[in-house]
Structure 1
């Protein structure tokens, strides 16, 4: 597997990965009905570096990296990751997280923060913890899960 910067030619493959995740509404605070164009505009938004993980010519996952906040918070990175359903359980998210931590360091960030990790996404929470992230905050019932109802959102953080 290799991870590289995304190009405009990757848009259809990225949509094929992020579209089902957005539609499911279980992990991102995005409008489940947003259009492909809106979703790609969000993913490739200003200030974001976008990457794809690929193997054998197929894109398996994607992530973006950005400053978590402007001004006084710009030394802390933020990232969002989505692995394609066909690549689940193959270490793609772990590889993308490791890559993002390296990229964040190279770009001068001092830490990384995930602002809103849905607590029912136990695989992600466990993965982030195994990568050195700590839960530093809990937002009670902050996420309306389409199946589980209101669940907590976690703030996770680690230094680089």
Structure 2
């Protein structure tokens, strides 16, 4: 529940096309990711996917370094809570690609999730996910927010930058004109540099915005956060 209540929007009438996005060349690394538009209903039709993503997100909340939600001792972050929060609108999922890289980023591919999965486990093939949903209700619902998640087994492979680039493709096609990230903690240096590189503007700095766990796992500290903003380029019809 936000300061505005529950902020949701109607699901789009049609599913957006899957696309392929190139990864930074690295020895032995995948050449590309395929990106797939999901809603809760579509994800629920894929056996085991929601359970896996719920476990990954619960692990991220336990880390206490990137999202503001806090799971207190003795509490459990339930799958119902996860689905209500993360799948409140649209989700884009990146799968580790097979075969050759696309000629250019955003190239449409005629493959569904199970075809792209190619018999692999979710742990093997899910490179990351992000949600796209309104940051504000009603008259300001044309401005979206995004929340990114990279499973622990897929970190430090450069997938975050691929997902971030694809966000600039999918968010405007979902009907949004701009994006605001409310809380990018200043100690998340990789994210700060990534959004700056993609043309986001620092709209403000919130002092002591998060009570985060320290990197060494011992104790907590208050950390400032940046508010990032970007106006999207109009979608070419």
Tell me if TM exceeds 0.5: yes
Residue 195 of structure 2: aligned partner: 128
For the pair 1:52 / 2:119, whether they are aligned, the reply is no
| Equivalent-residue separation in structure 1 for 2:83 and 2:174 (angstroms) | 23
Q: Residue deviations 1:78-113, cap 9 Å, x none?
A: 110011122222222222222222111112321111
Query: Of the candidates 199, 224, 231, which is equivalent to residue 152 of structure 1?
Result: 224
Pick the structure with more helix per residue. Answer: 1
Aligned-residue offset at 1:52: 1.3
Tell whether the 8 Å contact from 1:77 to 1:111 is kept in structure 2 after alignment: yes
Query: Of the candidates 25, 33, 39, which is equivalent to residue 82 of structure 2?
Result: 39
Query: Of the candidates 186, 210, 220, which is equivalent to residue 143 of structure 1?
Result: 210
Aligned 1:63-78 pairs, distance under 5 A: 63-78=130-145
| Equivalent-residue separation in structure 2 for 1:108 and 1:42 (angstroms) | 20
| Equivalent-residue separation in structure 1 for 2:85 and 2:60 (angstroms) | 14
Question: Is there any run of 5+ residues in structure 1 with no aligned partner, and where?
Answer: none
After TM superposition, the structure 1 stretch with the greater mean CA deviation from structure 2, 111-120 or 86-95, is 86-95
Query: Of the candidates 43, 48, 62, which is equivalent to residue 23 of structure 1?
Result: 62
Question: Is there any run of 5+ residues in structure 2 with no aligned partner, and where?
Answer: 1-32, 98-116, 118-124, 215-219, 233-237
Tell whether the 8 Å contact from 1:119 to 1:152 is kept in structure 2 after alignment: yes
Matched residues, number: 158
Aligned-residue offset at 1:41: 2.6
For the pair 1:12 / 2:54, whether they are aligned, the reply is no
Query: Of the candidates 164, 170, 177, which is equivalent to residue 110 of structure 1?
Result: 177
Greater Rg over alpha carbons, structure: 2
Name the TM-score, length of structure 1 as normaliser: 0.90
Aligned 1:76-91 pairs, distance under 5 A: 76-91=143-158
